[in-house]
Every structure is written in C-alpha cells, then in structure tokens.
Copies of this chain bind each other. A is one copy, B any other.
Amino acid sequence: MFTLSKKNHLPLYIQLKEWIAERVDTGEWKPGMQLPSERVLCDDLNISRITVRQAISELVTEGRLYRVHGRGTFVSDQKIQQGLNRLTGFTQDIKARGQEPSARVLDLQLTDAPTAVIHALKLKANTPAIRLQRLRLADGEPLAVETAWLNDKLCHPLLDLDLENHSLYQLLSEKFNIQPAYAEQRLQAVACPAPTARLLKIRKASPVLQIYRTTFAPNERPFEYVESFYRGDKYIFYVSLNHG
C-alpha cells in the first residue's frame, strides 16, 4: 500500500500520520469510514503497534479520527472540525461573516496605562502605552467600540499609520513583524454606558457584549489588551468546546 522510508529522517509515526491525513483530506477515506485495524496496519507496514497507535492518537486529538472501543477507528465528520476558535481581528472576523468592515478612529495617543493594562501587558508601573480607540462598523453600521492598548516599545511608530482603512493585525505583521499567536478573552453581558451607546446609536443601557482580550505573540509575550463593546442585537459570538 505504501512504504515508510527509514532513510527519511522523519519519525515513522509522523510519516504514517501524514499518510493517513492525506487520505482523509483528499476524500479517499470518507467521513464515517472505518480504518484498517491497528494490527492490520502493523502487519501491512511492518511496524510496531506502538507506532501505529501514536500516529492515530495524534489524529484523534486533532479531531480528524475517532476510536470506538471494541469496534474500530473511524474518519471524523469534517464539518464538526473547529473552524471556530480562530484568533482573528475585527476585520477578518467581519469579512468571514460576509460583511464589509470599516473603522473610525476616535482616539490615538501615547498615554499612561491604567493598572489593568499594566497587568495584562506585563509592563512596569507608570509606563505609557498606546491607546487606540475605534468605532468599528459592519456594512457601514456601527457594531462595536474597541479600545486597544498596545505595548509602546514594540510598536511606537504605529502613531503615524492609517488605522481607518487597514487591519491593525495586518499592520502589526507587516511593519513590526508581530503576529498574534494566542489570545485569552472574557465575555460578559452588560448594560451599555451612555457615551458608548451614543456612538453605537443604541439606547443607553441596551444589552451589549463586553469583551476583554489579551493577545500574545508566539514568544508568549502579551502585546495587546483590548476592551470592546459589541451591540447585543447585531453580534453573535461563536465558540467550540472540546472534551478535556
């Protein structure tokens, strides 16, 4: 069926894993289909069961396969796979929803960071930070007010850039080589404060989704802390959860 090359320095289980993944991706093995049993794979490929199990286990962890004790191993339904939980900025998020994102800059300055920001970005006390407040629109309608705090040391020249027509993440990536790798968010339903309500063109105290986000670079350093208010009537947050 296929040969694993020992010469190739790649571990056998990785080679097997990629081989299986390819069958699944190309649709040669369709969702619900049963894989050859672990012992059959051992014999056919002339490798030990521990190797086969390691390859399959990783694919199970990734959600591409699932096992049923006593019955066998099967290809997962691809629809279920998590297209959710992806870290994107407002721009990408809204585009993914089929709408046209835009922005109006309300404030952009270097100023003293409040303690919540100091803590989130792991700054020293009394350090200034960049405060960027924008009204975010989807298809021209106000959807959210977003206040981002950025580490000044990492991206000072940001103050001169055009943040109405470009994605912040895109600029950070192109100009400063900062890519978001990971983010933690807190979501809460609150009554909209009056000033924010005026910007969003909703009645004050309307329900809004308040989102706090801390974004980390690949080296696990936080570079951004954002507080947003999303109109409750216009924005739905999607998330997927997996069994521990």
Q: Which stretch in A4-12, A22-30, A129-137, A182-190 binds the other chain?
A: A182-190
A84-121 CB mask vs B (1 if < 8 Å, else 0) is 11111000000000000000000000000000000000
What's the tally of chain A residues with a CB closer than 8 Å to chain B? Answer: 49
Residues of B within 8 A of A183 (CB): 240-241
Contact A187 to B236, CB < 8 A, known contacts A61-B61, A76-B220, A220-B80:
yes
| Residue pair A238, B207 in contact (C-beta under 8 Å) | no
Choose, from A35-43, A62-70, A149-157, A159-167, the stretch at the interface. Answer: A62-70
Known interface pairs A66-B220, A187-B236, A218-B66; A180-B243 also in contact (CB < 8 Å): yes
Partner of A190 from the list B232, B239, B241 (CB cut-off 8 Å) is B232
Q: Which residue of B lies closest to A31 (CB)?
A: B220
Is the beta-carbon distance between A219 and B185 smaller than 8 angstroms? Answer: no
Residues of B within 8 A of A143 (CB): none
**A188 touching B232 by the CB < 8 A rule?**
yes
* Complex interface: chain B residues within 8 A of A216 (CB): 80
Report whether A230 and B76 are in contact in the complex, using a CB–CB cutoff of 8 Å.
no
Q: How many copies does the complex hold?
A: 2
Interfacial residues of chain A within 179-212, with CB under 8 A of chain B in the complex: 179-191, 206-210
Is the Cβ of B242 less than 8 Å from the Cβ of A87?
yes
Closest-by-CB residue of B relative to A238 is B186
Residues from chain B with a CB closer than 8 A to the CB of A232 are 188-191, 207
The answer on a CB contact under 8 Å between B182 and A63 is yes
Closest to A207 in B: B207
Q: Is the Cβ of A242 less than 8 Å from the Cβ of B208?
A: no
A237 on the B face (CB < 8 A): yes
Task: List 6 A-B pairs, Cβ < 8 Å.
Answer: A77-B220, A86-B244, A184-B238, A187-B238, A189-B230, A207-B232
Top-5 shortest CB links A-B = A189-B232, A207-B207, A87-B241, A189-B189, A189-B209
Task: Please judge, given known A-B contacts A207-B207, A220-B77, A232-B207, whether A242 and B189 are in contact too, CB under 8 Å.
Answer: no
Q: Is A19 positioned at the interface, with any CB of B under 8 Å from its CB?
A: no
Instruction: Evaluate contact between B182 and A208: CB separation under 8 angstroms.
Output: no
A235 part of interface (Cβ distance < 8 Å)? yes
